[in-house]
Amino acid sequence: MQEENDPHFETAAIRTRAAQTQHREHTVPLYLTSSFTFENSEQARAMFADEIEGNIYTRFSNPNTTELIEKLCVLEGTEDGVATASGMSAMFTSMAGLLKAGDHVLASRSLFGSTHQILTQIFPRWGIAHSYADINRPDTWEALIRPNTKMIFVETPSNPSLDLIDLDWLGKLAARRGVILNVDNCFATPYLQQPAKYGAHLVTHSVTKFIDGQGRTIGGAILGKKELIKEIRFFARHTGPSLSPFNAWMLSKSLETLAVRMDRHCENALQLATFLEGHPRVEKVIYPFLPSHPQHELARRQMRSGGPLVTFIVKGGLGRAARLVDNLQMVSRTSNLGDTRSIATHPASTTHAKLSDDDRAAVGILPGLIRISVGLEHPDDVIRDIRQALEKD
Ligand SMILES: *Cc1c(COP(=O)(O)O)cnc(C)c1O
């Protein structure tokens, strides 16, 4: 929530920093130290007793991870946070740090594959149940909330079908029913949407994706309300999913360019989506800022722009989709996303291959569906490569 004198997003992303040391360095140094010293035993006692703040040990905190979290909190409009070693450790810790046996999680069915595995394969061992709600049937969600539902977990836009959830509606539902709302904001980043503004209690990230944006590292973040983060921090401190200082240092630098990178990713994505929509070999293009997207109006309301991902369905199903991916000359074939390099992924045979055919169909993953994470190359070159791959045979 921008107050009159608050710095703008771009400024906060650059100027939020750890305190300068006696060397008056211009950018923040890297604190490669596993532990920190105490001035005396009284200070040590007070720090361990949480009476005073300070770094004790890098598994608990480190100036580089603290800087990254403070910056992300300003950008997301959240109170506090914990940095983690991967996006999945953020998703896991944000749930396991708060839930206990007997609790229930209501989640959107369209989830990142490993989050789905946590809910369906790992949490049941500990007596934590879940139900899935259909992202396109918001009218059915409230009835799925049980007396023991402690958390609602969602991603918007969803992967890879780019369906949106109305965060304003969901924030109000969670508040009314007293349930913690946890939003994985990895696809949008805080530059495109800030779930906490709509009442999300937790905002989780794989910072591996657009926040790093350069395909260099793995990391995660859990941001949110002070009292929830306090419990999550206790869990993280004693179970140890900490982000390394080097990665935190690099990711804080990555955030300095997030706004300009996202603007360009989104401009390029809109150009690619517009090209694909007119192509005779393409059955359907899904992009939130195209008027053909069924939730176009919501996208305009909730997101600053349409995002860096474009999903489309080629005519000819699995065979044509596989050939298209094989025919690419520049665009990378990897399952990742959120890089300077454009990436093509065929979810039905890779990221979502473990799902049953029915589960895939339920989240709109057709055999001919291809997801492009649009990079920062010149958009004409990306379009040229995808066009030749599409038209080759
Ligand atoms: C990649 C991703 C994750 C997992 O993050 P890692 O950094 O790979 O552990 C979680 N959620 C979404 C939406 C993702 O795209």
Please tell me the residue having the least CA distance from ligand 1 atom 12: 112
Spacing, Cα 87 to ligand 1 middle (Å)? 5
Domains of the chain listed by start with CATH number: 9-255 (3.40.640.10), 258-391 (3.90.1150.10)
Q: How many Å from the N-terminal Cα to the C-terminal Cα in the chain? A: 51
The pLDDT of residue 360: 84
CA 9 to chain centre: 18
The pLDDT of residue 64: 98
Residue 224's CB is within 10 A of a number of other CB atoms, namely: 27
What is the rounded CA–CA span in Å between residue 212 and residue 219?
Answer: 9
* Measured torsion, CA atoms of residues 389, 290, 210, 376, in degrees rounded to the nearest 10: 50
Which residue among 111, 164, 208 has the greatest number of ligand 1 atoms within 8 angstroms of its CB, and so is best to mutate?
208
**CB neighbour list of residue 59: distance below 8 Å, 6 or more residues apart:** 237, 240, 242
User: Per DSSP, which regions of 58-103 are E strands?
Assistant: 80-84
Q: What is the token pair recorded at 47?
A: 């720090």
Tens of pLDDT, residue by residue, the chain (393 residues): 556 788 999 999 999 999 999 999 999 999 999 999 999 999 999 999 999 999 999 999 999 999 999 999 999 999 999 999 999 999 999 999 999 999 999 999 989 989 999 999 999 999 999 999 999 999 999 999 999 999 999 999 998 899 999 999 999 999 999 999 999 999 999 999 999 999 999 999 999 999 999 999 999 999 999 999 999 999 999 999 999 999 999 999 999 999 999 999 999 999 999 999 999 999 999 999 999 999 999 999 999 999 999 999 999 999 999 999 999 999 999 989 999 999 999 988 888 887 788 888 888 889 999 999 999 999 999 999 999 999 997
Q: Counting atoms of ligand 1 from 1, which one is nearest the CA of 209?
A: 1
What is the rounded CA–CA span in Å between residue 42 and residue 59?
Answer: 22
Nearest Cα residue to 151 out of 188, 114, 204, 213: 204
Please tell me the residue having the least CA distance from ligand 1 atom 11: 112
Q: Counting atoms of ligand 1 from 1, which one is nearest the CA of 208?
A: 7
- HEC secondary structure over 72-128: HHHHHCCCEEEEECCHHHHHHHHHHCCCCCCCEEEEECCCCHHHHHHHHHHHHHHCC
Spacing, Cα 158 to ligand 1 middle (Å)? 12
Angle at CA of residue 338, ends 163 and 196, nearest 5°:
55
Nearest Cα residue to 162 out of 273, 255, 86, 320: 273
- Are 282 and 276 in contact by the 8 Å Cβ rule? The answer is yes
Spacing, Cα 91 to ligand 1 middle (Å)? 8
What is the rounded CA–CA span in Å between residue 72 and residue 75?
Answer: 5
The label of the residue with tokens 């394969």 reads 121
Residues facing residue 106 across a β-bridge = 131, 152
The pLDDT of residue 3: 67
Q: What is the token pair recorded at 92?
A: 């896991």
CA dist 255 → 96, 249, 261 (Å)? 27, 10, 10
Q: What is the DSSP letter of 143?
A: G
Which residue among 92, 114, 119, 183 has the greatest number of ligand 1 atoms within 8 angstroms of its CB, and so is best to mutate?
114
